[in-house]
Amino acid sequence: MQTLLLWLFYLSSFYAFIPGILTRIFGFRVFRRGTGTNEFALTFDDGPDPLYTPRLLDLLKQYDMKATFFLVGSHAEKHPEVVKRIHHEGHLIGIHNYVHKSNWLMRPVTVRKQVKRTDDIIYTITGERSGYYRPPWGIVNLFDFAKNTGCRIILWSSMFNDWRSKIGADKLTQRMLAKLRGGEVMLLHDCGTTMGANPDAPEQMLIALERVLNAAEQKGMRSIRIDDMMAKESKAKARKLSPLKRVMVSLWLLWEKVFHAVFALETVSPSDPMLHFRKRPFAGKTVVMEDGSRLEKGDEVLELHFDNKKLFEIGSRSRSEVQLAIKMIRAVQNDLPSLANMVLERPEFKDVKGLYAVTMISRGPEQFGFHVMDLPRGLFASSTRLYLKLLLSVIHPKGQARLKEGSQMMEPKMLMMPVDVLIERYAEKKTQVQPPKEEPQQLQQEQMGDLAVASASQGM
């Protein structure tokens, strides 16, 4: 009997207590706090409540603040009009199980069903699914670590016992004001009908919250949704290089110098390098472009390579993908006219038939005059795909995260431009290059970010 009890203790510790310690103390595999100085996150559990939630929404609207509501599915099912209003007024909706029951007391399959049922209710009401989950009392089990729910687990950095009415509005206000700072994720409750809560407790919470929102407004602070806070956190981390990332970038840029020396690459604008190139015979199969131009095996081409140091610097300084895209457009525009003049003026380029590069993008370069074509399948395509994905993870400001987005775009493509098009569009003696009219709209943001790693270090 003693041995059985001991085994039950070990099992329960492994299933529940240890995961609880890892999440609540160390923040393992959960989001519980952001960064920044002027933004915090208000989160509300256990609703919606037909009396208190509409009053809360009125208060948030008055101060132009956004919040995140973790809904109990059975409550949402009874009050769809309140759920619809939460969604309509721009707040984020998360899941708080179908019934307010601890995950320690449920099997993994039961937790998963609770989350799915609640998500289905939210989808039926709002037309959108939720990818955010807060387990009741913040209690997780072992299988929640394995993404049993399929959602991102959200906890908190401060809570105030506001589910008890005896705390009173004054003491609650003091506690909240003490935690009013950037990056804070505040846990509050807009419903008092769950086990252990007082039915009238949200009344005290609303009084205290109005005072806190007024103080936040005076300090120039605002409450934002959890997904917005997470997005800002992700961008901040992307701009901060870890020691390992610094080493990777340094080694990669060293390799690029060696590659340039071995293959004698020339630089279009040495004072501000962006495009590098080399003349070489085209080694692929015959390519027929949309305008009827043909590129045969053995034809002379200029193989383009982008300057990865410059691209990394652009990515590191860019505050967004749009800004990165615009900087990329300007950098390419600056170099193509100089390259066109080189082709016109230098005798060794008189037999060049066109420009050639390998890229990860699927559209965008067309506005520069390039034709985008699939890379023929084979060993070269496979090795190029591997190389460019590795380069993308090192150079792109979003790093590995970019590899998990838009997988349909992550295929190497050939960029081709007939030399006549290069000269006609870009040579100063012919036609000056005109900036695209809709830079950010025409170039999809992630795709222009991928242009930063467009050319492979192998030839056809």
Give the chain's length. 460
With beta carbons less than 8 A apart as the criterion, state whether 179 and 212 touch.
no
User: Whose CA is closest to 64, among 89, 41, 33?
Assistant: 89
With beta carbons less than 8 A apart as the criterion, state whether 1 and 186 touch.
no
Largest Cα separation within the chain, whole Å, is: 94
Alpha carbons 41 and 185: distance in angstroms, whole number = 5
Alpha carbons 386 and 396: distance in angstroms, whole number = 15
Alpha carbons 48 and 216: distance in angstroms, whole number = 25
User: Whose CA is closest to 86, among 47, 32, 136, 114?
Assistant: 47
Alpha carbons 436 and 446: distance in angstroms, whole number = 18
From residue 454, alpha-carbon distances to 328, 374, 392 in Å are 11, 14, 9
Point out the residues that are catalytic: 45, 189
Does an H or E element contain 127, and which?
none
Alpha carbons 358 and 354: distance in angstroms, whole number = 14
How many CB atoms are closer than 10 A to CB 118?
Answer: 27
Which tokens belong to 64?
Answer: 């132009």
Alpha carbons 360 and 72: distance in angstroms, whole number = 44
Residue 92, amino acid: L
User: Whose CA is closest to 313, among 334, 327, 333, 330?
Assistant: 327
Which tokens belong to 231?
Answer: 């997005």
Residue 49 C-alpha from the chain's centroid: 33
Which tokens belong to 28?
Answer: 């393992």
Alpha carbons 221 and 227: distance in angstroms, whole number = 18
Alpha carbons 288 and 277: distance in angstroms, whole number = 22
The three-state secondary structure class of 39 is: strand
Q: What is the CA radius of gyration of the chain?
A: 29
Alpha carbons 158 and 150: distance in angstroms, whole number = 25
